[in-house]
Structure 1
């Protein structure tokens, strides 16, 4: 039950659990209050002790730690003691109103955020307290909330005082009529809230600053000691609210800025540090060896050495560095090692899948056929075709410094009459290809030229619309890299396709999914986009055939736990 003790100020968070003593728990050795404790503030050990005591009576909710007491790791306890133990002298309210904690993945941040949410809801003696969980969407915000619910379920003394509304995603602490509730990112409906606490998870994924501004500016003005607890991994967008908060935290840490209400914590490797150093890994991952193993770090590092995309993901998620969203992607030495020659005539009548990237009528149009392997020793054979308008050929050579004229002379590039691409010519070309090769499907950008694709369908081809977002493009894009690394693809060194592979940049989302980024690419990448679409259809339709490489390999997917 919640009680106030004689001589204990009203605002002291104090929780009596089955008669246990407050000093009956592990404390952080050699604890020193934050160097950002203001001159007008004091550290109240009893306040901090009772907050730590409450958290240590919670239990872990996942994996091998499930059911074990939540014994705070040193870095976590430092934060709890600083936030709840450092108070202003004149009214004993908390000094810090905003905590910004930026830390790599898998360090126990969801558990810490859930513990803070329950502290504010149940152990802060705030009658009618409103604590809100926010993230980029309701699903992300529910991650911390679900951890909190699980913690309550494992805490009998607390569970009988809580009421759960699963539909509203709300936990109510009945003695104080205070609650913890999940909010979506729809900021327009959140005005008028009176927040005692706000838990922001993965601030870097916020699509804009609206929800953050609504929840931190004005909401909670009637509260004596509101707390905005922000916990996130580094992001990629340096025009975001998260980057703004990151810079503020860095300025305070470096002494360039003073804000006694702002509590900054950043665990990250500097941009110029050796990202391959295990010493750096240990420093920036304070829970290494507890919540994440060195073996896992080493495996992620081995993946990262293979290509720049994995390196970016490792740097962002494991070292907490703000990386560029788009990176030059293909290792060209590995690409060139797949320069296996083949005779197009030997492919006649074989099953294949097409990818069509029409671009605009004045740019390069690409059509790529992918022939799946027929046995375990075979490779994915890539047969590309490209077109540009005839009249713009010389201008393009001078302007782009790209040897389109040479490629045309060598037979690697086709032209159509005039200054724009004539799709009717491409239709007839593909029709002739269909007489040579057994084209099962043709994938195309669903926002592309519907008239051309409908005409192809009228010629008897099966055409499949293909989205250009992360969901559709990521699996086959990653698979293209793996096939290249394993030398399971044959492209015969086609010069335009090689040029485009060297141009390719990819974008990465918060979950580690990737897609080609035409805006970030310095030159054309149409052929690789068409290749990815064709490869996707080949994998999905032929992957289970006897003797296929996919009998023993599955599509690579990347999530929080790495490659799956």
Structure 2
């Protein structure tokens, strides 16, 4: 070991590392390695750099070496790439036998195996995503911190000509459930594909910060080369300073949490997923959160009866799907287009959302269901009202007595209207009186939703603190707020309810 605990001593695998290595390399089929992708996710400072360096050397000049292999350790920036290369180089420098077998080229962070001609290179996303790689092994360090998936995709699609390619990811979890790191973990732990190994070390989702058993779950090297007191100090600070808690949970307990605490926890939201189909002729409420003409518009439909079953609808302009995928999810992402192709998002032809399409859809819903009312944000609503007039959909404002047609309820976005709406949303989730269909757009919006409070404790959704779009969360809050208002449900002390 060139540095850290055990410096100067032979590198020895810890039990969790042995378990991972065996899971990756032992399964064989007709003398060929079965595993093609491996994910090891754990909290920070658990010895991943040393493990990456050891695996690199095993493939360069060790038992996994092949003739003219190409080995890459990938990182998100040049500094991180340099750390991995430096560690591997120091291991070579400390071992005379390795020094004879490997030629070092520090200027390009490269090593060359003299006998086989195999090459190892440390690369970073900052260097661009040039094609031309033909890797036999890739190890991606801290993929969860990647701003986009460009480098990952280039490497992942470059294995074609190799007999036994291997892609290893060693990283903490991402706080974004739609990030490629989250997708890899979710796919890996499903156990569906024997060619994928995933070892996840993470604290339980709703654990107490001070529960030391949970520290060990996320830190398999704790009290070995993961310093116990350093971790304890960080966690004690988070207990004293709640603003630090999301970061500590993500980086040191390896939980999939946002840097800002979401309005509804991922576990609570996930528990409300289920069959939410609405029946023709059923009594429902609607809510509409309009965007600018180029962003995300959200319409929620929810049952009057308990539990409230939700049918979410979203619109984006078709010509902006790719551009806005890159803007919201990182260069190279096609997420909006993928959602549209999967039927989870309406793509409005052209460069803007056509208000006629939204108005016609609402008119169609008014024929399918018995709508008790539609809450709406006033912003840009005049476009929809003009379309209602044009297509002949009768509507009236809630304040107009004896109106005919669709009842429209303006819903302010300040503390007065949104405070009770957020209370209604939280109550429905906590009491499992909400069923949503696991729509990925709505899931993403809910994960992004962050509330802010005024001095009196009233809350509203805060778009400035939110990481990305929250339109679906706004629309859902308005729907449940109107539903609760019509029922004349008194405000509930959420804090008292949850203890």
Equivalent of 2:155, from 215, 227, 243? 215
CA deviations over 1:218-254 (Å, ceiling 9, x no partner): x1222211111110011212221111112112322xx
The answer to whether the aligner puts 1:248 opposite 2:187 as a matched pair is yes
Is 1:228 equivalent to 2:176 in the alignment? no
Structure 1 residue 503, shift from structure 2 partner: 7.7
Correspondence 1:517 to 2:465: yes
> How does the TM-score come out when normalised to structure 1?
0.47
Conserved in 2, the CA contact under 8 Å of 1:187 and 1:210?
A: no
Partner residue in 2 for 1:274: 208
Instruction: From 70, 76, 79, give the equivalent of 2:17.
Output: 76
- Note closer, same or farther for the CA distance 1:519–1:291 as it changes in structure 2 (3 Å cut): closer
Higher-Rg structure is 1
Match of 1:177 in 2: 117
Q: 1:175 to 1:323 in 2, by over 3 A?
A: same
CA RMSD of aligned residues (A): 3.2
Distance 1:79 1:313 in 2: 26
2:141–2:170 CA contact under 8 A, matched in 1: yes
The alpha carbon displacement at 1:181 in A equals 0.3
Q: 1:71 to 1:518 in 2, by over 3 A?
A: closer
Query: For 2:72, which of 132, 146, 151 is the aligned residue?
Result: 132
Q: Alignment partner of 2:240: what SS? A: coil
Aligned-pair CA distance for 1:501:
11
Partner of 1:287: 221
User: How far apart, in 2, do the equivalents of 1:505 and 1:116 lie?
Assistant: 46
- Matched-pair contact (CA < 8 Å) for 1:141–1:184: yes
| Structure 1 residue 268 displacement after superposition | 0.5
Identify the residue that residue 3 of structure 2 maps to in structure 1: 62
Q: 2 CA distance for matches of 1:185 and 1:161?
A: 29
2:37 match: 98
| CA drift at 1:521 | 12
Contact 2:129 2:154 in 1 (8 A): no
| C-alpha contact (below 8 Å) 2:219/2:253 kept by paired residues | yes
The correspondence of residues 156-171 of structure 1 with structure 2, limited to 5 A, is 156-171=96-111
**CA 1:294–1:128 in 2, change beyond 3 Å: closer, same or farther?**
same
Question: Where in structure 1 are there 5+ consecutive unaligned residues?
Answer: 1-59, 253-257, 330-396, 403-495, 508-515, 523-564
Q: Contact (CA 8 Å) 1:107, 1:287: kept in 2 or not?
A: yes
Structure 2: gaps (5+ residues): 264-410, 417-451, 471-499
SS of equivalent residue, structure 2 residue 190: helix
C-alpha distance in 2, partners of 1:180/1:282?
A: 33
Contact 1:132 1:195 in 2 (8 A): yes
Structure-1 residue corresponding to 2:197: 263
The structure 1 residue matched to 2:230, chosen from 282, 286, 296, is: 296
Q: Distance in 2 between matches of 1:120 and 1:230?
A: 16
